[in-house]
Amino acid sequence: MAGYVDPLVVGRVIGDVVDLFVPTISMMVRFGLKHVNNGCDIKPSMAANPPSVQIAGRQADLYTLVMTDPDAPSPSDPTMREWLHWMVINMPGGTDPSRGQEAVPYMGPRPPVGIHRYVLVLFQQKSRLPGVAPPATRANFNTRSLAAQYDLGLPVATVYFNSQKEPAARRR
C-alpha cells in the first residue's frame, strides 16, 4: 500500500526553503493560462512577467508573498541560495499581489545552468507590516530569517515550479 508523499518534501522545498507546515490557505498561481502545480515545468519566457496569484482568506487578514530560487546559481552548487525574485507584503486575503505593497520588484526566472526550483511562499501576518527593508542584494536571502524577523510563523501555503534555460532558438 503506497502512502501519500508531499510534493514539497519530494522536491526538497521543505528543508531547503521552509520547515514542515500544514497548508491552511488556498493559493492559485498562473503564468498566463498555465496553472502552477508543485514540480511543474515553466519556461523562463512564460514567467517573464509576474504570475497571477489568487489567495483565499478574509480581506481583514494580511499576507506576505515571497518567491525565491534555492538553486542559484547552480543546483549542484547553490552558493547564492536563496535568490530573492519577488516580495509582496500587506496583501489582503481574498485578493492578489496588486492589492499589497511590492517590497522587492518581480524578477523572472533566469536559470544559468541546470533545472532550478522557484518557490512561492505565503505567510499570514499577525498585523500590518510598516515596511520591509529590501535586502542589499537578492543573493543569499533566507525565507526562514524573514519569517523570524517579522514574526510571520510558518507558511500557510507554498507552491513551486521548475525552470531551466531555454535554447536561444526556442525562446518566444
Q: What tens digit of pLDDT does each residue of 48-81 get?
A: 999 999 999 999 999 999 999 999 999 999 999 9
| Whole-number Å distance between alpha carbons of 55 and 36 | 14
Please provide the DSSP assignment of 49-97 as one string: SPPEEEE-S-TTSEEEEEEEETT-SBTTB-TTPSEEEEEEEEEETTS-G
Question: pLDDT at position 115, please?
Answer: 97
Identify the pLDDT of residue 4. 74
d(CA 114, CA 92): 36
Average pLDDT over residues 133-143: 93
pLDDT band at 134 (very low <50, low <70, confident <90, very high): confident
Burial class, 130, CB count within 10 angstroms (exposed 0-12 / middle 13-18 / buried 19+): exposed
What domains lie within the chain, and their CATH numbers? 18-164 (3.90.280.10)
Mean pLDDT calculated for residue range 94-120: 96
Give me the pLDDT at residue 172, please: 53
pLDDT for 170 beyond 90: no
- Rounded distance between C-alpha atoms, residue 95 and residue 75, angstroms: 33
Q: Residue 12: is its pLDDT beyond 90?
A: yes
pTM here is 0.94
Q: Greater confidence, 170 or 25?
A: 25
Q: What percent of the chain has pLDDT over 90?
A: 89
